Amino acid sequence: MSSKSSIRLTFVGTLFFFVFVTESVRINVTETRLNRVKLHLKKINKPSVKTIQSPDGDIIDCVHSHLQPAFDHPKLRGQRPLEPPLERPKGYNSSDERFETIQLWAELNEFCPEGTIPIRRTSEHDVLRANSIRRFGRKIRGVRHDTMSGGHEHAVAFVNGDQYYGAKASMNVWTPEVTDPNEFSLSQLWVTSGSFGNDLNTIEAGWQVSPELYGDGYPRFFTYWTTDAYQATGCYNLLCSGFVQTNSRIAIGAAISPRSSYNGQQFDIGVMIWKDPKHGHWWLQLGHGVLIGYWPSFLFTHLQKEASMIQFGGEIVNSRSRGYHTNTQMGSGHFADEGFGKAAYFRNLQVVDWDNSLLPLTNMHLLADHPNCYDIKAGKNNVWGNYIYYGGPGRNAGCQ
């Protein structure tokens, strides 16, 4: 055999060995990740007594309420959900909430048995869409509400400079376009305390469109919390131990139906978060007095006492994946000036004071990080009280 042939065979053999080893490593890494995903799913998908197939493809598991993920927390292990507080905040009146919330899975008129709660089942695909298992179900770190950070942009109304014990508002629900899978568009209430650096405590609830988290473009009812500025604590919905759900008819993370339409009928949801004066836990209510559950006070540091800021409005992530602002919409995808039936709104904005009383906002501030992309305007009348219109289309002639 010639020396050239020998060299050629050695090169081919080495190349084959390199490809084989590389492919083996890739397969092993994939298998390792899949095994980790399966272990994680086993942790968060609890055994169910009944399953319901939603028209949108979701699987809803009916899980014994004392076996939900919250009770994996060391301080809750072996306990059961608390009884609801006897009193709502003073001044609460459900008559201003015109529309019932309907979730797609509930259109079948099939619900979970008494003593169980409905939990949207997490799939392998859900987890694999995330950058890592550790980050699955969490917001990207670096979210700030006083400036743009990490691609996050806001159009919000807020109050600060006082002690707050909750907030309430009604918001109409839309289906905004989200351009890239790792972006989202949401509308929510924020109840916060601490600094935006490393010790921010926040409780959040509203609706969101998040293809990465849910795998589709439906607006979904969601919750969130963190006690360290989105670093290592907290999560969306029931994807970690934290929020304790008590309601057997609402699935957190499930799609909302119906939705508002441009120049058509408007559908909104009422959300109230308040601190129970007796036990100090933060309770969540949806719509006509429907209690969803609570965040135990021990989860937090600053929010064990009270909140220092309340915010209402929209947030999106702009990834600039193509080198310019994406077309991800906020709210209806239309600017605030277009008004009712066209722009997204929050109405009847209120806060809960030290005396557990609902009060209208005073000294309200408006913030739009990038008003050429998403803006906000406020008003007040006898029917809607304090209200805001907000949102926008994202990329346009003034938003590059």
Report, as residue numbers or ranges, the catalytic residues.
204, 315
- The H or E element containing residue 24 is helix 3-44
**Dist. CA 313–CA 378, nearest whole Å:** 11
Q: Is the Cα dihedral 162, 383, 391, 265 positive or negative?
A: positive
**Dist. CA 369–CA 144, nearest whole Å:** 11
Is residue 243 exposed (0-12), middle (13-18) or buried (19+ Cβ within 10 Å)?
buried
Q: Is the Cα dihedral 364, 201, 129, 294 positive or negative?
A: negative
Tracing tokens 């050629």 back to the chain, one arrives at 8
**Dist. CA 51–CA 389, nearest whole Å:** 39
Contact assessment for residue 238 and residue 257, using Cβ atoms and an 8 Å cutoff: no
Contact assessment for residue 267 and residue 258, using Cβ atoms and an 8 Å cutoff: yes
Q: What are the φ/ψ torsions at residue 308 (nearest 5 degrees)?
A: -110, -10
Amino acid letter, residue 373? C
Instruction: Write out the two tokens for 82.
Output: 């608390």
Instruction: Write out the two tokens for 354.
Output: 């030290």
Strands, DSSP E only, in 194-321? 201-209, 220-226, 235-236, 244-245, 268-275, 282-286, 290-295, 307-317
Report the helix count and the strand count for the chain, using DSSP H and E: 3, 19
**Dist. CA 300–CA 165, nearest whole Å:** 14
Instruction: Write out the two tokens for 166.
Output: 């909750």
**Dist. CA 59–CA 121, nearest whole Å:** 6
